[in-house]
Chain A
Amino acid sequence: MPAKSHRVLPGFGLALGYTLVYLSLLILLPLGGMILKTAELGFGQIMDIALGERSLAAFRVTFGASLLAAMINAFFGLIVAWILVRYSFPGKRFIDALVDLPFALPTAVAGITLATLYAGNGWLGRWIEPLGFKVAYTPWGIVVALTFVTLPFVVRTLQPVIEDIETEVEEAAASLGASRWQTFARVVFPALFPALLTGFALAFARAIGEFGSVIFIAGNIPLVSEILPLLIISKLEQYDVLGATALATVMLAISFVLLLSINLLQWWTANRHRNREPLEAAAGKAAAGLQ
């Protein structure tokens, strides 16, 4: 029988109890209330609401734009995080602080600013619209707003992980003959991938629920640029609280499934990576295997 493990800091029971109460109050209670309210409707009615032409279009727009925004941020966020950790250059601290700005700014302000910027006479819009790129008041505007709002997630999740990968690892890979691409693809990237997925999932989840910034730049045309949160507001505007909660519940269910699968994928890759071999060995192997 294993001995009771000894910890330096006591209080597991208390902390767990606190965690459960805290999460219940903050997350489970409101969500439970929402689901309970939705249960007043039959399954058929919920599906009717979710599968209407307008709702389906809004589902496509919302999840599509969120996915795209999260992907854009996964790519560029990785670059930003890498630059901020690995290099020092004048103004680095300033740029580092800039990354958090989308969190601090009220989303409505962000939306109005972006709409003004990308409108036909805006600083950016006046250059790109003649080229045939309409951003403001099209679904692309939604992508721009969501990319802006979710920028910090990927950068901030990646930064500490990149700090953990010592430059020696890359040097080892290089000295063992790995090309630059091999060093990145087989040594650095696998170590970053779980964190990248986490950042991606956070950005994606945040984007799905985003309302304040999108509403000012989307154009809100039915079947084209209406997002799901707008349809929920629209139902509330009709005092149709049930319909609104039903839509919200379906949205939540889809988000939950997507996030769960991202988490599973992340857990799987992290495990695979950990069980396989330590970084240094990977560096050597990458170099050896590809000589």
Chain B
Amino acid sequence: MKSLSRSLSTFLLGMLATVALADVTLLNTSYDVARDVYKDYNPLFQKYWKAKTGETIEIKQSHGGSSKQVRAVADGLEADVVTMNQANDIEFLADKGLVAKDWAKKFPNSASPYTSAMVFIVRKGNPKGIKDWNDLAAPGTQIIIPHPKNTGNGRNTYLSAWAWALKQPGGNDQMAQEFLGKLLKNAPLFAAGGRDATTTFMQRRMGDVLITFESEAEMIAKEFGKGEFEVVYPSLTMQTEFPVAVVEKVVDKKGTRTQAQAYLEYLWSKEGQENAAQNYLRPRDAELLKKYSASFPAVKTFTVDEVFGGASKAFATHFKDGGTFDQIYAQK
């Protein structure tokens, strides 16, 4: 009891100390599994900023489902910067006037400091011989994915399979939709989220293949051991982006524009890029990508902009009510 109250008071004192010492406080509102990246990135930036300006900066993190986070910002959560995993979430803030309309041009690489790719995780030895998207639609194969309509991870999988089908001989939208219909029939369930899908596949041993972010594979290795699974890179997959933006309205109000801008810019520095690579996210920096090539094998990727004409358009066509996902399930 005594030690509890002591640790509590230490904690409170610590909180007071940070508040008292910080000259500026930034709130970074981020998607769910970004915890590790930004936990490691924030001290790097704090050090850099202190050396450069002498200013002590405190960075608070808020994590949650990407669209939930964005809604919170739209409803008045005073985030200086948003770091998301889907462009359409930032588009939403741009539509609301909170973020610049040309947010994607404010930083290099469509404002996405690092990327990942959708990959297959199969059981040790790949007993079903899964190599590419068509193997996922084969009868008797079970795929584990989060809900394509409600989760970013599920949507990326859906769009990756669609883009692959388009690239097949004679591929068109109708064929792609039929292909997705076959593929989704092989899903015995739609997991609640990315981590739930991982648990279902790894711990409950359901399904033959899990489709998820390349970066997630490392998490699985840490949690369940490297010998339990194999990573398969399909012939074509989505390069997933992690766009960032300054929340104009908030930084103007709080007077934190310089710091917020610098905070995001520093993501493209060598230190920021290396931190991404160490967290298993593909850095934009070509040299670092080469240095970490063991973690990031070459893979043929497409971007949502190239194939679907932008994230918002892809969302509207495929995942809005009445979109292709709903059509597939209405056909039954």
* A119-B200 in contact (CB<8A): yes
Given known A-B contacts A121-B205, A220-B147, A238-B319, A54 and B329 have beta carbons under 8 A apart: yes
B149 sits at the interface (CB 8 A): yes
Alpha-carbon gap, A230 to B330, bound state (A): 17
A40 sits at the interface (CB 8 A): no
Task: Say how far B61's CB is from chain A's closest CB, in angstroms.
Answer: 21
A216 sits at the interface (CB 8 A): yes
* B190-A233 in contact (CB<8A): no
Alpha-carbon gap, A11 to B138, bound state (A): 73
Alpha-carbon gap, A119 to B199, bound state (A): 11
In the complex, which residue of chain B has the Cβ closest to the Cβ of A223?
A: B329
Specify which chain A residues have a CB less than 8 angstroms from the CB of B206 in the assembled complex: 119-120, 137
Task: Say how far A144's CB is from chain B's closest CB, in angstroms.
Answer: 15
Task: Say how far A142's CB is from chain B's closest CB, in angstroms.
Answer: 12
Alpha-carbon gap, A116 to B199, bound state (A): 9
Alpha-carbon gap, A54 to B332, bound state (A): 12
Given known A-B contacts A238-B321, A240-B321, A53 and B330 have beta carbons under 8 A apart: yes
Interface residues of A in 182-238 (CB under 8 A from B): 215-216, 218-223, 225, 230, 233-238
In the complex, which residue of chain B has the Cβ closest to the Cβ of A108?
A: B192
B67 sits at the interface (CB 8 A): yes
A122 sits at the interface (CB 8 A): yes
A119-160 CB mask vs B (1 if < 8 Å, else 0) is 111100000000000001100000000000000000000000
Given known A-B contacts A221-B189, A234-B150, A115 and B204 have beta carbons under 8 A apart: yes
Alpha-carbon gap, A120 to B188, bound state (A): 12
B173-206 CB mask vs A (1 if < 8 Å, else 0) is 0000000000000011111100010011001111
Given known A-B contacts A119-B206, A121-B204, A236 and B188 have beta carbons under 8 A apart: no
* A235-B192 in contact (CB<8A): no
Task: Say how far B254's CB is from chain A's closest CB, in angstroms.
Answer: 25
Partner of A116, one of B190, B203, B332: B203
Task: Say how far A123's CB is from chain B's closest CB, in angstroms.
Answer: 12
* A215-B192 in contact (CB<8A): yes
* A219-B189 in contact (CB<8A): yes
Specify which chain B residues have a CB less than 8 angstroms from the CB of A220 in the assembled complex: 147, 189-192
* B320-A238 in contact (CB<8A): yes
A85 sits at the interface (CB 8 A): no
Partner of A137, one of B92, B188, B330: B188
B23 sits at the interface (CB 8 A): no
A243 sits at the interface (CB 8 A): yes
A27-56 CB mask vs B (1 if < 8 Å, else 0) is 000000000000000000000000011100
Interface residues of B in 76-100 (CB under 8 A from A): 92
Query: Which range holds the interface residue count of chain A?
Result: 20 to 34
B39 sits at the interface (CB 8 A): no
* B199-A112 in contact (CB<8A): yes
Alpha-carbon gap, A181 to B192, bound state (A): 47
Alpha-carbon gap, A122 to B206, bound state (A): 11
Partner of B150, one of A54, A137, A237, A239: A237
Alpha-carbon gap, A70 to B205, bound state (A): 32
A227-267 CB mask vs B (1 if < 8 Å, else 0) is 00010011111111001000000000000000000000000
In the complex, which residue of chain A has the Cβ closest to the Cβ of B147?
A: A220
B71 sits at the interface (CB 8 A): yes
Interface residues of B in 41-55 (CB under 8 A from A): none
* B204-A119 in contact (CB<8A): yes
Specify which chain A residues have a CB less than 8 angstroms from the CB of B71 in the assembled complex: 236, 239
* B149-A234 in contact (CB<8A): yes
Task: Say how far B82's CB is from chain A's closest CB, in angstroms.
Answer: 15
Specify which chain B residues have a CB less than 8 angstroms from the CB of A236 in the assembled complex: 67-68, 71
Task: Say how far B136's CB is from chain A's closest CB, in angstroms.
Answer: 17
Most B CB within 10 A of own CB, among A121, A233, A235: A233
Specify which chain A residues have a CB less than 8 angstroms from the CB of B147 in the assembled complex: 220, 230, 234
Task: Say how far A253's CB is from chain B's closest CB, in angstroms.
Answer: 21
- Contact surface of B with A, Cβ cutoff 8 Å: 67-68, 71, 92, 147, 149-150, 187-192, 196, 199-200, 203-206, 315, 319-321, 326, 329-330, 332
Q: List 12 A-B contacts (CB under 8 A).
A: A54-B326, A112-B199, A121-B205, A137-B206, A216-B192, A219-B190, A220-B191, A221-B187, A234-B149, A238-B321, A239-B67, A239-B71
Q: Which 3 A-B pairs have the closest CB atoms?
A: A219-B189, A119-B204, A222-B329
- Contact surface of A with B, Cβ cutoff 8 Å: 52-54, 112, 115-116, 119-122, 136-137, 215-216, 218-223, 225, 230, 233-240, 243
Known pairs A219-B189, A221-B189 / 17 extra A-B pairs, C-beta < 8 Å: A52-B321, A54-B326, A112-B199, A116-B203, A116-B204, A120-B206, A137-B188, A137-B189, A220-B189, A220-B190, A220-B191, A222-B326, A225-B189, A236-B71, A237-B149, A240-B320, A243-B321
